[in-house]
Structure 1
């Protein structure tokens, strides 16, 4: 396989392909392109590329000081198992704008072993709380 290039240049992100791949995932079901546009615009996004073709994506929602939430880490199905997800996570954790962040969090139902390699642990400390709710209807503008 050719070298994997990691880039934070959002102009290189293939929005349509990224949105489609996420919508096909177990966590992206029910999302729309509009939701992804707003989510990506309010996140630090990173893409993985092989020969200038995008093959993966991830993003972080953060205050860029103390807290960061890792989201939408995804590798295109035909490129999985090649270490691309690891490169995306490493790039996010090493990003200079996140250097002072001490609290990273995420949710996963199937990739625990990936994140454990970077020091993530399943929260059982009795402090982590979560509110899950249905999204409010939004008027189209």
Structure 2
């Protein structure tokens, strides 16, 4: 599988105490298509119950990206809420963040890591995600 290095000057951390929770909430509730209007309290609970990945500028320490993984850390993971701040886009940070998540999860021996995207298929394909071969067997409760 292809490895993607973060561009110079950026780091990924899974330390939840380092997250800029206000920025994450603003990005997702105001700028994403999948979480528009998500209440802050729900976002806080989502962060607290997930494996979180923050993407930071090394010099300033400012957070410029986020990804969240819902997982039992044994068999399954769901990658969601992947977001790169508009001012930081176009530098390969989304692909590098997805690769960092993939690499972190690789050591867990998960059977499956899933995600859903409306418009970023190529980003995830670069790090190994592919369309489901048998999507007809999957079902969902609570479609939007």
1:4-43, aligned counterparts within 5 Å? 4-24=10-30, 25-43=32-50
Gap regions ≥5 residues in structure 1: 135-141
TM-score, L = length of structure 1: 0.87
1:83-122, aligned counterparts within 5 Å? 83-95=92-104, 99-122=108-131
After superposition, the Cα gap between the structure-2 partners of 1:106 and 1:96, relative to the gap in structure 1 and judged at 3 Å, is closer
Contact 1:64 1:97 in 2 (8 A): no
1:36, CA displacement in angstroms? 0.3
Gap regions ≥5 residues in structure 2: 1-6
| Two-structure CA RMSD over aligned residues (Å) | 1.8
Contact 1:6 1:87 in 2 (8 A): no
Aligned residue number for residue 138 of structure 1:
none
The runs of 4+ residues in structure 1 deviating greater than 3 Å are none
TM-score, L = length of structure 2: 0.85
**C-alpha offsets along residues 37-70 of structure 1, whole Å, 9 cap, x if unaligned?**
0101010001001121110000100010110000
Aligned to 2:130, the other structure's residue is in SS state coil
CA distance in 1, matches of 2:117, 2:105: 25
Would you say how many aligned residue pairs link Structure 1 and Structure 2? 134
1:122, CA displacement in angstroms? 2.0
Aligned residue number for residue 52 of structure 2:
45
